[in-house]
Structure 1
Amino acid sequence: LLNEFLKEHKKVEQQQASISELKSTVAQQQTGIEVLTAQLKEQAAQIQKVSAQLEVNKPAPQVVVNKP
């Protein structure tokens, strides 16, 4: 009976170690997601800025008259 208990206790300890490792992995992934989100926001802001500059620098349309 004691042997059974010790086996089960060892399984529980292994499961707890696995859970701790998974929690650590999730935390690292969450940090990575936050970094990527910040980078995406930065890139979106840069794209918007460049788009606005292109719009300002866009030449006015010119009308061409063909003379027969």
Structure 2
Amino acid sequence: MPRDVAEVNPDLVVRDKYGDIDMVRYDAVNTMLLNEFLKEHTTVRELKREIAALAATVREQESKIQEVSDQIQLRNLAPQAIDNNQ
């Protein structure tokens, strides 16, 4: 595992005088993980807002589509009503 940590971020390990990994700086790992978590949390929050806005747009479009469909249906029924009255 220390090698994996060093590959991701060399600053998270302490090396001995021979350059071998001596230990992992877990305090720094925890800080890095917290920072990454906070970034992801912010991203999730922004995505939730975007989804809510998109959902509102879809609802608005559905309403407009229904209005147009209703108008088309009324126009199609109007000639039939005139024909029935004759």
TM-score normalised per structure 1: 0.78
Q: Which structure 1 residue ranges, 4+ long, deviate > 6 Å from structure 2? A: none
Give how far 1:30 is off: 0.2
The equivalent residue for 1:54 is 72
For structure 1, the 5+ residue unaligned runs are: 63-68
* Residue 25 (structure 1) aligned to one of 43, 53, 59: 43
For structure 2, the 5+ residue unaligned runs are: 1-13, 15-22
What is the CA deviation profile of residues 9-62 of structure 1, one whole-angstrom value per residue up to 9, with x for unaligned ones? 0000000000000000000000000000000000000000000000001132x7
TM-score normalised per structure 2: 0.63
Question: How many pairs align?
Answer: 59
The equivalent residue for 1:66 is none
Higher relative contact order (CA 8 A, sep 6+): 2
User: Where in structure 2 are the equivalents of 1:1-68 lying within 5 Å?
Assistant: 4=23, 7-58=25-76, 59-60=79-80
Partners in 2 of 1:47 and 1:30 — Cα distance? 25
For the aligned residues, what is the CA RMSD? 1.9
